[in-house]
């Protein structure tokens, strides 16, 4: 069987979303965070209906591959699309608010090739070939050819290919982009933190270059993907704003260095692309207040929320600041879905601020009803206080 025929069959496993349902799903994501927008009818729930007998569906979504290593995917857009399509079917198997999208999945360091820098692919990870010296940093700038060479051009090639072969109900979105600070860390390595003390002007210069590159690349890829002006697709979510910033490396900074060398550039990037969400793994509780002060930061994608203090307290703090997050407390052994859903929404006082993932097997018998139970849990907690906003107990 040819690969192209396989792609046709995989597309058939991802049915379209009814127009009315799709409008409701988009509204839920759009109104998830921000006091400037009305509350959604319900908070989003992504239902993953996994077939335990399918090795493809049991595979980790990232990192790693199912059939084709990253290096092969980068060189062949069909192989990259195949890897993503096999993971989409579980998202539309049962009713849910997941809206799967294809995306240029090129790895963390792909953007630095826009600066003429080399990368290497090792074990499905895209890494810098080497760290630049301080002298090289001083000469670094975004060249006129930044979008025409390297993996940025390959990403554009994939987006155009995917849009040319996919039906309208499987759109193309964005891979999460390394933020200005994470790009700078990839380019300079751990010496970047030494530069903040010994050569702060060089550190700020590098941050400026990386911010410029991030903004240009995000705008280019959004345009190629046909994204809306005020939202972007990331995997199976549709977030408010213009892009995702991965800030993993920031958790190594002190709060003071973060405010001086990272936050101004994160803010500049978000302002330039119309806002967005931030991701980081690890313990970033010492950075949270600085992030919450950014008006155009709409939400957080935590890698390990449990590492950032008591999860419920952190979630409440974020939601009360008008931001959103992926709040995902562990489901207890023997805890049924209605009880779990009631426990999740204890951190909110209105329909704002969080979305949830739910994983279930295809033979469990509860997949069809999960979203309805999620809605019932919110309805049961609503108090009609006469205000325009419906509030939760």
pLDDT in tens, 319-352: 999 999 999 999 999 999 999 999 999 999 899 9
Residue 147 and residue 114 in contact, taking contact as beta carbons nearer than 8 Å: yes
For the chain, the maximum distance between any two Cα atoms, rounded to a whole number of angstroms, is 64
Q: ∠16-8-107 over CA atoms, to 5°?
A: 85
Q: Is the residue at 286 inside a domain?
A: yes
For residue 90, pLDDT beyond 80: yes
DSSP 85: H
What pLDDT shows up at residue 177? Answer: 87
Q: Which of 49-53, 187-191, 261-265, 275-279 has the lowest mean pLDDT?
A: 49-53
Residue 236 and residue 227 in contact, taking contact as beta carbons nearer than 8 Å: no
Q: Is the residue at 299 inside a domain?
A: yes
Q: Is the residue at 93 inside a domain?
A: yes
Residue 119, domain extent: 3-380
Query: Mean pLDDT across the stretch 48-60?
Result: 77
For residue 387, pLDDT beyond 60: no
Q: Is the residue at 387 inside a domain?
A: no
Query: Mean pLDDT across the stretch 355-378?
Result: 91
Residue indicated by tokens 């995902």: 328
Number of domains in the chain: 1
Cα–Cα distances (Å) from 253 to 35, 256, 301, in that order, read 30, 8, 19
Residues pairing with 239 in the sheet = 232
- At 29, is the secondary structure helix, strand, or coil? helix
**CA 127, CA 139: separation in Å to the nearest integer?**
21
Q: Which of 58-62, 216-220, 251-255, 379-383 has the lowest mean pLDDT?
A: 58-62
Residue indicated by tokens 């933190």: 193
Q: What is the sign of the dihedral through the CA atoms of 59, 328, 47 and 103?
A: negative
What pLDDT shows up at residue 383? Answer: 61
Q: Which of 27-31, 247-251, 307-311, 364-368 has the lowest mean pLDDT?
A: 364-368
What pLDDT shows up at residue 2? Answer: 62
* Strand-strand pairing, 382-383 and 391-392: antiparallel
Query: Mean pLDDT across the stretch 128-132?
Result: 97
Q: Is the residue at 385 inside a domain?
A: no
Query: Mean pLDDT across the stretch 360-368?
Result: 84
pLDDT tier at 215, thresholds 50, 70, 90: very high
Residue 234 and residue 105 in contact, taking contact as beta carbons nearer than 8 Å: no
Residue 65 and residue 74 in contact, taking contact as beta carbons nearer than 8 Å: no
Q: Is the residue at 390 inside a domain?
A: no
Q: What is the sign of the dihedral through the CA atoms of 259, 262, 263 and 268?
A: positive
Across the chain, what does the average pLDDT equal? Answer: 92
Residue indicated by tokens 């759109």: 171
Q: Is the residue at 323 inside a domain?
A: yes
- Neighbouring C-beta atoms of residue 342, cutoff 10 Å: 15
Query: Mean pLDDT across the stretch 247-270?
Result: 97
pLDDT tier at 61, thresholds 50, 70, 90: low
For residue 13, pLDDT beyond 70: yes
- Neighbouring C-beta atoms of residue 148, cutoff 10 Å: 11
- Per DSSP (E only), the strands in the chain are 45-50, 119-122, 125-128, 177-178, 231-234, 237-240, 243-246, 276-280, 297-302, 324-326, 354-361, 382-383, 391-392
For residue 389, pLDDT beyond 60: no
What pLDDT shows up at residue 385? Answer: 47
Two tokens at 365?
Answer: 């018998």
Report DSSP letters for 113-124, one per residue: GGGT--EEEETT
**CA 281, CA 288: separation in Å to the nearest integer?**
13
Query: Mean pLDDT across the stretch 286-302?
Result: 96
What pLDDT shows up at residue 57? Answer: 72
Q: Phi and psi at residue 145, in whole multiples of 5°? A: -90, 15
pTM of the entire predicted model: 0.93
What pLDDT shows up at residue 392? Answer: 53
pLDDT tier at 149, thresholds 50, 70, 90: confident
Q: Is the residue at 206 inside a domain?
A: yes
Two tokens at 131?
Answer: 């760290």
Q: What is the CATH number of the domain that holds 15?
A: 3.20.20.210
Query: Mean pLDDT across the stretch 363-372?
Result: 88
- Neighbouring C-beta atoms of residue 294, cutoff 10 Å: 16
């Amino acid at each position: 069987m040819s690969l192209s025929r396989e792609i046709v069959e995989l597309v058939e496993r991802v049915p379209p979303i009814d127009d009315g349902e799709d409008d409701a799903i988009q509204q839920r994501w759009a109104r998830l965070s921000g006091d400037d927008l009305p509350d959604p009818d319900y908070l989003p729930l992504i239902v993953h209906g996994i077939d335990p007998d399918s090795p493809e569906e049991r595979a980790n979504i990232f990192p790693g591959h199912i059939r084709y290593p990253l290096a092969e995917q980068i060189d062949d857009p069909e192989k990259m699309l195949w890897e993503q399509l096999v993971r989409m079917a579980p998202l539309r198997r049962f009713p849910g608010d997941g809206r799967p999208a294809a995306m240029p999945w090129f790895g963390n360091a792909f953007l630095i090739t826009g600066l003429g820098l080399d990368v290497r692919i090792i074990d499905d990870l895209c890494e810098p070939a080497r760290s630049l010296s301080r002298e090289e940093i001083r000469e670094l700038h975004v060249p006129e050819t930044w979008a025409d060479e390297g993996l940025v051009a390959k990403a554009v090639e994939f987006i155009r290919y995917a849009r040319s072969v996919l039906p309208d109900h499987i759109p193309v979105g964005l891979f999460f982009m390394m933020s200005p600070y994470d790009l700078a860390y990839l380019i300079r390595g751990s010496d970047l933190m030494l530069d903040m003390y010994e050569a702060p002007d060089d550190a700020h210069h590098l941050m400026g270059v990386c911010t410029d590159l991030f903004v240009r690349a995000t705008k280019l890829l959004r345009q190629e993907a046909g994204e809306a002006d005020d939202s972007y697709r990331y995997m199976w979510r549709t977030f408010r704003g213009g892009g995702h910033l991965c800030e993993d490396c920031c958790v190594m900074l002190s709060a003071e260095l973060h405010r001086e060398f990272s936050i101004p550039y994160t803010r500049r990037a978000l302002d330039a692309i119309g806002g967005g969400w931030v991701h980081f793994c690890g313990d970033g509780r010492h950075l949270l207040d600085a992030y919450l002060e950014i008006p155009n930061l709409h939400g957080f994608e935590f890698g390990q929320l449990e590492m950032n203090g008591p999860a419920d307290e952190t979630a409440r703090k974020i939601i009360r600041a008008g931001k959103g997050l992926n709040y995902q407390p562990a489901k207890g052994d023997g805890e049924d879905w209605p009880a779990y859903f009631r426990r999740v929404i204890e951190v909110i006082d209105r329909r704002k601020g969080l979305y949830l993932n739910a994983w279930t097997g295809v033979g469990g018998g509860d997949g069809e009803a999960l979203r309805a139970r999620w809605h019932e849990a919110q309805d049961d907690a609503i108090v009609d206080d006469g205000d325009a906003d419906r509030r939760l107990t």
